[in-house]
Amino acid sequence: MNLAMLSLELAVIGLALAVLLLDLWTPRPFKHRLGWLAAAGLLAILAASFCPHYADTPAAAGFNGMFVKDGLALFFKRLFLATGFFVVLMGVEFRDRIAMGLGEFFVIVLIALSGMMFAASANDFVMLYVAMEMMSVSFYVLVSFQRSRANSLEAGVKYLILSALSAGVLIFGIALVYGVSGQTGFAAVAAEGAHFAQNNLFWLGTLLVLLGLAFKIAAFPMQMWAPDVYQGAPTPVTAFLAIGSKAAGFVLVLRVLFVAMPALSLHWSKLFIWTAALTILYGNLCAIPQRSLKRLLGYSSIANAGYLLLGVSALNTAGSVAVLYYLAGYAFTLAVVFMVLCLVAPDNDDIGALAGLSRRSPLLALAMTLGMMSLAGVPPLAGFFGKLLLFKAILAQVAVERTYLWLALVAIVGVVISLYYYFGVIRAVYWTDDGPEMSSIKVSAPMKFSVGVCIAAMLYLGLCPDAILSAATEAVQVLRF
């Protein structure tokens, strides 16, 4: 029974081991075919997750309650599998920039992906920590994978040091929670939490746990690493950090707040409000002067963490549904943006490298434009409807707490600021002078397929959101508000 609950995770780990073994007998010129194998495997696992035999089984907990299979976990696992598929395809396109170890690159991506999937099912602080470390150790290697580039090595060292610091904060917080309550399981901590509402050590432990998770989602005050690491890491790894790692951080935030500590979270509404406001302002204001597109997306990622925290700070079902919907749209939006970067500017991420893209590849120009418009929140794309849901969730709480109105105003200011730098990228694509390189860009069939899927998903989620909203609403039923 327990192993059946792990079927998706075991399938991903088995795929990683298969790729690792095949790498031993694959000649160097054909290493990229391992990427096609990994992508096909992830697509097959994603399809299997929709099979009634797996998807329709009732929610259950295993391994002494440490691992849970429920709607929330399944929603995020599908999101992670789709993200892994796009990242592996980007890795294939990026293969010329990875001098050594292309097969190992795909293997480590799959191991990080399995860590994210374990995080989605974490129902115990021990499982939470193990899943986070499984992701973090993989990213230590991935961020610095381009060993011949000083920027990549520097980014890897920064991520290693700051991630290790955040892990120390997290494990100390878990130790305090366990020391006070004597429990690590989320359900057991929730049952004991009401008895320790006035215990300062329990509150401090909870705060340290949230600070450790704030690093993963790049939220204030643990956001300093994101721009430097995003800029220095290989482009597919940056995409994986921005989409997968952030989503994994948010599923853990939701489980900690609304499964392990629902009683305490109600008392911390103002903390969440101020954190969201400062994260939005920091990300958007710092993005304005950026010329590096990856660095700009790093600050954009911080701002988007702030928008997602709007849904968390609402402390209601509508807010959590909005978080899940927003993450789904955000995944397809960022995936298409980073695919364009991999194809157009793999070595030079300056915005000027996009000059003349509309003449070099109309498809990629359209994809980048729609991606930027979705990030900016322009209708009818997924980003617009996601922001609308988040705003509705916090405005519904204004009658309870007037501070939510100020948070909504800060978020609106952030959206207006973001229009400037997002549309600056679009201006570079269509209205700047021709760049130094004006040859046409050849796009492989798998990348055309992936770009097309992302464009269709952004439009579909914005125009026909009912299906994903229904799935998100069902997923958040396990949370307690």
pLDDT digits (tens, 9 = 90+) for 288-306: 999 889 999 999 999 999 9
pLDDT for 108 equals 95
pLDDT at 229 exceeding the cut of 80: yes
d(CA 115, CA 133): 8
Give mean pLDDT, residues 140-164.
Answer: 89
pLDDT tens per residue, range 386-402 = 999 999 999 998 888 88
pLDDT at 1 exceeding the cut of 60: no
pLDDT at 417 exceeding the cut of 90: yes
Angle CA(112)–CA(174)–CA(76) in degrees, nearest 5? 35
pLDDT for 462 equals 92
Give mean pLDDT, residues 328-347.
Answer: 91
DSSP H stretches of helix in 256-316: 262-265, 269-287, 293-314
d(CA 428, CA 354): 6
b/e burial code for range 354-373 (CB count within 10 A of at least 16 → b): bbbbbebbebbbbbbbbbbb
d(CA 130, CA 440): 46
| Residue 241: burial class (beta carbons within 10 Å; 0-12, 13-18, 19+) | buried
Q: Which residues contact 86 (CB under 8 A, 6 or more apart)?
A: 239, 335, 339, 450, 454
Give mean pLDDT, residues 260-280.
Answer: 88
pLDDT at 152 exceeding the cut of 90: no
DSSP letter for 28, please: G
pLDDT over 90 for what percent of the chain? 65
Domain ranges of the chain: 268-481
Centre a 10 Å sphere on the Cβ of residue 317 and count the other Cβ atoms it contains.
16
Query: Average pLDDT over the chain, rounded to whole?
Result: 90
d(CA 180, CA 185): 13
Q: How far is CA 235 from the centre of its chain?
A: 15
pLDDT for 352 equals 83
Q: What sign does the CA torsion over 66, 71, 72, 75 have? A: positive
pLDDT at 97 exceeding the cut of 80: no
DSSP H stretches of helix in 182-292: 186-193, 200-217, 225-232, 235-240, 246-255, 262-265, 269-287
pLDDT for 388 equals 95
Q: Which residues contact 475 (CB under 8 A, 6 or more apart)?
A: 70, 71, 72, 74, 75, 324
pLDDT at 228 exceeding the cut of 80: yes
pLDDT for 181 equals 87
pLDDT at 433 exceeding the cut of 80: no
Confidence of residue 437 (pLDDT cuts 50, 70, 90): low
Give mean pLDDT, residues 241-257.
Answer: 94
pLDDT at 194 exceeding the cut of 80: no
pLDDT at 223 exceeding the cut of 90: no
pLDDT at 348 exceeding the cut of 80: no
